[in-house]
Structure 1
Amino acid sequence: MTLRDDAVVPALECRGLSKRYGAERIVLAQLDFTLAAGEFVAIMGDSGVGKSTLLNLIAGLDRADSGSVTIGGHALEQLDDNAATRLRRQKLGFVFQAFHVLPHLTLEQNVALPLLLNDLPPAGAREMLAAVGLGDRGDAFPRELSGGEMQRVAIARALVHRPTLILADEPTGNLDPATAHEVLGLFRAQSKATGAATIMVTHSEAAAAVADRVLILSDGGLHASLAPRAQTSNVAHAAVRSSDDVR
């Protein structure tokens, strides 16, 4: 598969996206959502409304019952498993609450992993570490880091291969408020610098405040809410139903 240039197409398009578990547990229904290149969006909502399910569908780790997910012009439902894995490796970056930094690798080796998987020169890893304030720590191991520093490594790893889309699931959930504020500012700045669009799932209003726009996932649907930073921005509306039991 040759991936096309995605500079002139939306980073993400979800059209008519629906998902249910069993006969009664409707999670998403006819969801329409577009994310522009470089845009930073926060998705909030109570536990159980389907936020993680939505991320899994966007990443191609789960299949929707109907509808489409298109990343940089590439429709996931048209790809076989190998092609979907290749697109995920090339076009997506992931940041998790639990960091998932590999303990037996140095910081530079951790950040270089996406480059190696995409047959790209690993030299960019040290440059990316410098961008997150860890340029002199490339030979250190994760056991030597604080939680905030490990999340900086995770952000560097997610961005180093210049993905189209970053998916972040509670990226500051394990950090104290002061560290979370610092890391989120860096995360936003670096995602903007690389041109990656970002979806961040969070329960934290403070975290959501860094976004260009905020979408609230609730039993009644996905409601647009302006973030403080983006009070003059246009906000797209989407519709989704959710169950109480599925997160």
Structure 2
Amino acid sequence: MLVLDKLSKSYGGRDVLAGLSHTFRAGEFVAIMGESGVGKSTLLNLIAGLDAPDSGQVLVDGTPMAALDDAAATRLRRTRMGFIFQAFHVLPHLSLRQNVALPLLLNGAIDGRADEMLDAVGLGGRGADFPRQLSGGELQRVAIARALVHRPALLLADEPTGNLDPDTAQGILELLRRETRQSGAGAIMVTHSHAAAAMADQVLLLTRSGLKLT
């Protein structure tokens, strides 16, 4: 499903990732842990094609991301991937329902699942509210609902429970597992939380020397 082939990336002359290779299988929920600054978020951006490696390649279903033009890469992300970023990227001028429904609308699908997903993240009945009315933790849950609404084949999650209390975090992690298992999707979750990582099928440690099974 996803292959990292000798992936390298540096910023300002400092190597962040150096010759990283790994294969992720479809339907697998993987947690990636590691020290701050080791390149976990960079890795997610490279996988999504939001950043380009200095060398090596990312292959999604056998297709090199670097071989896609901007339109094709955008189409692949829109149809096949779901993203949960630390910055949330919730659009302030759209209601919660409109934010969550956005991937469906961009893919030409009906938006009836938006309210279902808002309910699943504990925000049922608030579809008409706007982001300015929400706390940081609630905004994170909107971002999670939006990432899952179109049933992506690959979910990329960067600290998806970072702003949530332990009980809410547990419920969200169970939702991520349930949704990805039902659709047969793969999931890669970057986290500092050992409790979150314990929900994964496999936990990998990212170090300067690469990814290794813990």
Q: TM exceeds 0.5? A: yes
The one-character-per-residue Cα deviations of 1:88-122 (angstroms, maximum 9, x if unpaired) are 12211111234333333222211110111122222
Select the residue among 156, 176, 196 that pairs with 1:167.
156
Contact 1:20 1:27 in 2 (8 A): yes
The CA deviation at 1:166 is: 1.0
CA contact (8 A) 1:208 1:214 kept: yes
SS at match of 2:73: helix
- Number of the residue aligned with 1:95: 84
Whether 2:128 is the aligned partner of 1:153: answer no
> TM-score normalized by structure 2?
0.88
Following TM superposition, the consecutive aligned residue runs of length 4 or more in structure 1 with deviations greater than 6 angstroms are: none
Counterpart of 1:15 (choices 2, 5, 14) is 5
Q: Does 1:185 align with 2:174?
A: yes
Structure 2 Cα separation of the partners of residues 103 and 70 of structure 1: 34
Tell me if the contact between 2:34 and 2:206 (Cα under 8 Å) persists in the aligned partners: yes
Aligned length: 214
1:125-145 Cα offsets, whole Å, 9 max, x none, are 233334445443333334454
CA–CA distance in structure 2, aligned partners of residues 200 and 57 of structure 1: 14
Shift of 1:34: 1.6
Residue from 102, 106, 123 that aligns with 2:95: 106
Of stretches 88-97 and 148-157 in structure 1, the one that deviates more from structure 2 is: 148-157
Greater CA deviation, 192-201 or 132-141? 132-141
Say which SS state the counterpart of residue 43 (structure 1) adopts. strand
Match of 1:64?
Answer: 53
Gaps of 5+ in 2: none
Letter in 1 for 2:177: R
Name 1:126's counterpart in structure 2.
115
Does residue 43 (structure 1) correspond to residue 47 (structure 2)? The answer is: no
Contact kept, 8 Å, 2:96 with 2:126, in 1: the verdict is: yes
Taking a change above 3 Å as real, the CA distance of residues 175 and 129 of structure 1, as seen in their structure-2 partners, is closer
Query: Closer, same or farther in 2 for the Cα pair 1:145/1:188, shift >3 Å?
Result: farther
TM-score w.r.t. the length of structure 1 is 0.78
Query: Does the residue aligned with 1:153 lie in a helix, a strand or coil?
Result: helix
Q: Give the corresponding residue for 1:137.
A: 126
Change (3 A) 1:154 1:145: same
**Counterpart in the other structure of 1:75:** 64
Partner of 2:156, secondary structure, is strand
Q: Which runs of 5+ in 1 are unaligned?
A: 1-9, 226-247
Q: 1:84 aligns with which of 68, 73, 78?
A: 73
Q: Contact (CA 8 Å) 1:72, 1:164: kept in 2 or not?
A: no
The match for 2:23 is 34
1:178–1:124 distance in 2 versus 1, CA, 3 Å = closer
Distance 1:174 1:135 in 2: 19
Instruction: Give the structure 2 partner of residue 54 of structure 1.
Output: 43
- Aligned-CA RMSD value: 2.1
Q: CA deviation at 1:182?
A: 2.2
With over 3 angstroms needed to count, the CA separation of the structure-2 counterparts of 1:13 and 1:87, relative to structure 1, is: same
Q: Distance in 2 between matches of 1:22 and 1:105?
A: 37
What is the Cα deviation at residue 151 of structure 1?
3.0
1:148/1:183 contact within 8 Å kept: no
Whose Rg is larger? 1
8 Å Cα contact 1:159-1:194 kept in structure 2? no
